[in-house]
Structure 1
Amino acid sequence: MTTRGGVVVDDRPPVSRGWTARYAIASTGMWLAFLTPAQAQLARQAELFDPVGKAALLGLATGVGAAVTAVAVPVFGALSDRTRTRWGRRRPWVAGGIAVAAAGLVALAGAQGAVSLVLGWVLAQVGLSAVQAGLVATIPDRVPRPQLGLVAGWAGMTQMLGALLGTLLVNQVVKDLAPGYLACAAVAVLAVVPFLLGYREPRDLPAPVRTGRRSTIQITPDLAWAWASRFLVTLGFALVTQYLLYYLTDELALADPQRGVLVITAVTVLGAMVSALVTGRWSDRLGRRKVFVAVGGALMGAGALFLALVPAWPVTAVAAGAVGLGFGTFLAVDLAVIATVLPSAADTGRDLGVFAIANAAPQVLAPVLAVPVLAVSGYRGLYLVTAVVAVVGGLLVRRVRSVG
């Protein structure tokens, strides 16, 4: 980027379709390795190890793993900002991270109890944190602003695509727990290979400022509001998805709740993929971002409201579609908002890692919030709270001044 007449002009060349495809494949593999255990495998394993306390064990595993992610992604992002190797500064962290993540998934395949379940998931989360830190930083590194909505749309789509492919993988292709974990590990490793081989980093990336004391992120009002918006919307999505299997089992009493999870996940993901790709391009053309984020939160809130007020299978499918459309819309445009409000081009990995906390912290807080709400008011109360959280999260982006 250059400055002309006091105006910052992003004159970087556009990224190619091949670059976007390699990024999308790698990101899909990363999210498959993260979301498949979080939404399917861990719940089944927790029920196997502790049928009575399954919800508490699931909350412990996902909570501890998310806490690790909240710390690890900013740390790995800051380290990648300062990495200088012949392979660049991002790729070493992606390569090393996917190896550690695969080891964690292999450990989960051999878990024999609650302790090994939690430790295996923590190891996987450490590795996936390094992958996430390296991958997401390549977007502000490489993508010019006129393409942010397009590429962010593809990036948002990969999160949902990873969830869908992972659900299909462990529910239809490799149904047993241990082989399912191994399959997730293999797919994740293979998915990042094209990116690692094909990505070439820009040579003119700014170096982080080195001072006598450790530099800290500049928390601007826009950055704070964007962070709060992502945190709340992600919390809403976590509240919907973490307890989906138990909702279908305990509230709807489905004969085959695992198949129900597959159907609901497919509806959610397809809605999210369509909305992410459409709204990402649309926001580029209009030059507006905030309205899409607000609409995304509202759609998610409507879906959660359906789950709360009408606990019936057909309505659940409709609710899943609304949640998917809303979350896809949010993901497609919110990343473009974040890339715009980052305070330092030299510390993108570190600064984006702060937003990873907004992704990870809801995984910790979701069970903390859900368990007492479920005890007092059941799934009706849980999803009413979810609706409020999602809508407020979407509206908070209106406070971001530097984005249209």
Structure 2
Amino acid sequence: MTAGVAAAGGRSALDEPLRPVGRQWTFSWAMANLGLFLANYGAQQIVLPRQANAIASDQDAAVVVQSWANACASVATVIVSILAGALSDRTLHRTGRRQVWVLCGVVLCAVAFVFQGSQHSIAGVVVGWTAFTAGFAVVFVALSAAVPDDVPVNQRARVSSYFAVGTACGPLIGVAAVTFLLTGILDAYVGLALLLLLCVLPFGFLTRGIPLRRTERPPLALRAITLGVFMPLRSADFAWACGQRALINLSNALAQIFLYQYLKDAVRFDPDLGTLVLLVCYTAGIVVVAIPVGRYSDRTGKRKRIVVWSSAAQGAAALILAFVPTFPAAIAGASLLGFGYGAYLSVDQAVVTQVLPHAEDRGKDLGVLQLSSALPVIVAAAIGGVLITSLGGFPALFLASAIAGLAAAFCVLPIRSVS
């Protein structure tokens, strides 16, 4: 049997969903997100640095390779997120608007990883990582748009909390796999590609959304799509939600993305083992808080105060990493970072789906919002290299993370459509 709400009494694809989604839909959706983050973090934290170190001659050169790969991938993310969202809004497939995009995106991710694993040049790494990031953007936008399509408002924080658990456990599994089992470069990329397919394909094949009627299909025009990127930003709530999401993800990314190099060069600890240990602590922090905080949020309707708490926790974690470069302090910082980010993720989907201006543009608007989630990771890799090599080293990196985390709290307060 297929999961979903396809038989919801003739409901339009543009209507607000009222019927709760079942466990099968929630599980396959959470597993798809787990697979995305498993592959992304396993590669970003371990395999890409390992490949960069194999290509480059020293630490600074390896950082530059990573920065170039992520900077180029950011361009693809901007374009693909918006186009994939807009095109999925107009998709008339019988299984719904999002499922076919999930399938196409995950295949692109897998092919890109196999290609990247065979590369031995900076150009090859940049091309492979850019293609993977494009596929990641397609899948993530489609999965995000499935939430306002199918999940009622009073169930979204609970669904978001499972998203938090999935996206926390995914990186841990990915890093563990490439640390202990897939210790080469090619085998790591191929292994991550297979795990990604295993996690994501069930949602694409086994769930169904509400098919879009041809009469409901918005016109397709490049000018309209281009202008549509900026139109939702005229909504103050949408703009503030973009800002707070971008800042809290930038804070989290700055605190994590160069942990491998931080452990190797500042803490003087085995970076493979150390990254895994810190990721375990980070994941435990997320898992402990995510589901109870999500249920609390759905029960009370409160979202903004949770974002404020999480922002403060992330800022404090970054300060620990900045000024106490020891492994025990890094464990404390990673745990606190997990508590903060887990609380945030437990309400993230609820917050962003409650500020969408128009039902017919959910995918495109979430594609815009996706930029505030994906670009900070890529921007962090690009500017992080500059902070480390030219503007004060690792303390400057983590201080920037703390500032971004605290600034996120001020962006969520003006949002009126969220309590």
- Alpha-carbon distance in structure 2 between the residues aligned to 1:304 and 1:163: 19
Check the 8 A contact 1:38/1:62 in 2, yes or no: no
Which of 318, 323, 337 aligns to 2:337? It is 323
The reply to whether residue 63 of structure 1 matches residue 71 of structure 2 is yes
| CA spacing shift, 1:33–1:367, aligned 2, 3 Å | closer
The reply to whether residue 168 of structure 1 matches residue 183 of structure 2 is no
Which of 370, 384, 387 aligns to 2:399? It is 384
- Alpha-carbon distance in structure 2 between the residues aligned to 1:173 and 1:245: 18
Q: If the length of structure 2 is used for normalisation, what is the TM-score? A: 0.90
Check the 8 A contact 1:297/1:395 in 2, yes or no: no
SS at match of 1:87: coil
Which of 188, 191, 210 aligns to 2:219? It is 210
- Alpha-carbon distance in structure 1 between the residues aligned to 2:23 and 2:145: 18
Alignment match, 1:366: 380
Which of 304, 310, 317 aligns to 2:324? It is 310
Greater CA drift, 380-389 or 333-342: 380-389
Greater CA drift, 360-369 or 171-180: 360-369
Alignment match, 1:4: none
Cα distance, 1:218 vs structure 2:
2.5
Cα distance, 1:402 vs structure 2:
1.1
Which of 244, 250, 259 aligns to 2:259? It is 244
Cα distance, 1:257 vs structure 2:
1.4
- Alpha-carbon distance in structure 1 between the residues aligned to 2:288 and 2:50: 30
Deviations 1:116-168 (A, max 9, x none): 11111111112222211211110000000110110011112222221111001
Check the 8 A contact 1:230/1:393 in 2, yes or no: yes
| CA spacing shift, 1:63–1:85, aligned 2, 3 Å | same
1:327-342 matches, cutoff 5 A: 327-342=341-356
SS at match of 1:311: coil
Task: Give the aligned residue type for 1:77.
Answer: G
Cα distance, 1:332 vs structure 2:
1.5
- Alpha-carbon distance in structure 2 between the residues aligned to 1:208 and 1:393: 36
Cα distance, 1:10 vs structure 2:
5.7
Greater CA drift, 307-316 or 212-221: 212-221
Number of residues of Structure 1 aligned to a counterpart in Structure 2:
395
Alignment match, 1:291: 305
- Alpha-carbon distance in structure 2 between the residues aligned to 1:44 and 1:321: 25
Alignment match, 2:5: none
The reply to whether residue 134 of structure 1 matches residue 148 of structure 2 is no
Over the aligned positions, Cα root-mean-square deviation in angstroms equals 1.8
The reply to whether residue 95 of structure 1 matches residue 122 of structure 2 is no
Cα distance, 1:211 vs structure 2:
8.4
Which of 155, 167, 186 aligns to 1:147? It is 155
Task: Give the aligned residue type for 2:82.
Answer: P
Task: Give the aligned residue type for 1:365.
Answer: V
Which of 258, 276, 294 aligns to 2:272? It is 258
Deviations 1:266-297 (A, max 9, x none): 11112112222221111011110000011111
Greater CA drift, 135-144 or 149-158: 149-158
Task: Give the aligned residue type for 1:252.
Answer: V
Cα distance, 1:203 vs structure 2:
4.5
The percent of aligned pairs where both chains have the same amino acid is 32
Alignment match, 1:225: 240
Task: Give the aligned residue type for 1:210.
Answer: P
Q: If the length of structure 1 is used for normalisation, what is the TM-score? A: 0.94
